[in-house]
Structure 1
Amino acid sequence: MRALNRTEGNPADLLTVEALRRDLIGSAMVVVAERHDGTLVGYATGHATYETGHAEKGVYVGDLYVAPDHRRRGIARALLAALARAGHAAGARHLWLTAQETNTAAHAFYRRLGSKGERVMAFAVVSQDFLNLAAETPR
């Protein structure tokens, strides 16, 4: 996870075992890929979502990462298939995948899965702006 954060230009030092236990374990789907010796080579996280436009449950894929020296071996596809199976068992009917605009390799991979690209802009209210919004008095 720290490697993905570094790759995407996010701080890697904020992610701790305590943070994962507090925020991820038990509240998200997490699948991992390991070598036969137990070395972790990839992971994916998924969260339940709902698409009102299609009136169906889905899985938002938060992270998908495979270590660079293990790519192009079907690991990412296997991770997404595991999330799809878990989601399907819970009633989901789609995966929601995102990638940074410049990550054309991810775009191509998602298209090979049969996904359709949608032109959307993602926004994140973070840090103090998030706290300010959360503190607003209900009207």
Structure 2
Amino acid sequence: MRIERITRAAAIHAAAELFDAPPLTEATERFLAAEGHHLLLAYDDDRPVGMISGVEMTHPDKGTEMFVYELSVAPEARRRGVATALVTELAAIARRAGCYGMWVGTEPDNTAALATYRRAGADEEAPFTLLNWDLIAGR
């Protein structure tokens, strides 16, 4: 397995099955062009088998931290260390970028995600409530 940081939209579109929905061309280009946005793909030979995206977030009184935006592994590649390797590589990128930490949110019953993040060195903090604005529906 090898992990590559992706800078070209074609690689993302070639790994479309790893995303929740087909990648949108304009959104893909915007993500790749934004400073502090990272997308890594894990390959088994030349086949993409895993994906992680992260976004550096900076606040005036906190500094910069890495937000793990999304993590996905193809069903046939699960339980082989792909997810842990992707999280570990994103953390290394965050350290090199000067981030003071890295965080992710997941559902409390997502045991696979929780195990992966813990294996990659994450500590659990107090639970929180996620509130969401649906700006498309106008709510």
TM-score, normalized by the shorter chain, greater than 0.5: yes
The answer to whether structure 1 residue 69 and structure 2 residue 53 are counterparts is no
User: Of 115, 119, 130, which residue of structure 2 is paired with 1:108?
Assistant: 115
Equivalent residue letter for 1:110: Y
Q: Which runs of 5+ in 1 are unaligned?
A: 6-11, 133-139
Aligned partner of residue 94 in structure 2, secondary structure = helix
Compute the TM-score of the two structures, normalised by the length of structure 2. 0.73
Compute the TM-score of the two structures, normalised by the length of structure 1. 0.73
Which region of structure 1 is more displaced relative to structure 2, 111-120 or 25-34?
111-120
User: Of 102, 109, 131, which residue of structure 2 is paired with 1:123?
Assistant: 131
Structure (1 or 2) with the larger CA radius of gyration: 1
Identity of aligned residues (%): 29
What are the within-5 Å matches in structure 2 for residues 22-101 of structure 1?
22=30, 24-27=31-34, 28-36=37-45, 38-50=46-58, 55-101=62-108
Measured on the aligned residues, the alpha-carbon RMSD in Å equals 2.4
Q: Which runs of 5+ in 2 are unaligned?
A: 1-15
The answer to which structure has the higher strand fraction is: 2
Aligned residues, how many?
Answer: 121
For residues 19 and 48 of structure 1, the distance between their equivalents in structure 2, rounded to whole angstroms, comes to: 17
| Other-structure match for 2:5 | none
Check whether the contact 2:87–2:117 (CA below 8 A) recurs between aligned residues: no
